[in-house]
Structure 1
């Protein structure tokens, strides 16, 4: 499984987040360090990679991590990563559509289904 991992500095009370990308699984994952210094999965984003576009199908942030900005951080990371490919994004996932609505700088890379 190929993984590209980057780390984002936490802002305020949000801990540092590590993102992993598994192209074979068509999934991005977000992790934080738990109290013991181990990676703990916060959530994930699933997509379908097509020749001319990327379809984002589903975003999940586990209950104990909701309302802390992890979902937005994950979506921002994914959209920034996809932007480097130049392919448009079809946001089937309602969370991603809401993120783009709140962050209109990403709107130009959106395509309709």
Structure 2
């Protein structure tokens, strides 16, 4: 059975983290389902790690979270360094984000 509710994305610049928060209806309870960690640089954002807690996997939350993160970064005018393998795959599958990605240093 799928979780029913609304996904909200919270950004905490002080923690360098975006969190996906599931708000269940009608109770209004909230639970963090996952997060993306990053390192902010002057002209780039290095996306280092994406996590969706196991009990929430398979519901598309990671894709919703990464899309929101990339949209937010695009609005800031910065480029993305997708160190996280999930983010790399997401950008490969969604070429509309390819223009903002820069190669990961080897």
Q: How many residues align?
A: 102
TM superposition score normalised by structure 2: 0.89
Q: Structure 1's 91 and 14: CA in aligned 2 closer, same or farther, altered over 3 A?
A: farther
Unaligned runs of 5+ in 2: none
Which residue number in structure 1 is paired with residue 51 of structure 2? 60
SS in 1 for 2:76: coil
Q: Does 1:24 align with 2:11?
A: no
Q: Runs of 5+ in structure 1 lacking a partner?
A: 1-12
Q: 1:79 aligns with which of 64, 70, 79?
A: 70
Q: 2:97 aligns with which of 89, 94, 106?
A: 106
Higher relative contact order (CA 8 A, sep 6+): 2
Shift of 1:84: 0.6
Q: Take 2:61 and 2:14, find their aligned partners in 1: how far apart are those partners?
A: 23
2 CA distance for matches of 1:34 and 1:42? Answer: 12
Structure 1 segment 40-59 matched on structure 2, within 5 A:
40-59=31-50
Is the 2:66–2:87 contact (alpha carbons within 8 Å) kept by the matching residues of 1?
A: yes
- Quote the offset at 1:15 in angstroms: 3.1
* Cα distance in 2, alignment partners of residues 61 and 37 from structure 1: 20
User: Which range moved further: 83-92 or 28-37?
Assistant: 28-37
What TM-score results when the alignment is normalised by the length of structure 1? Answer: 0.84
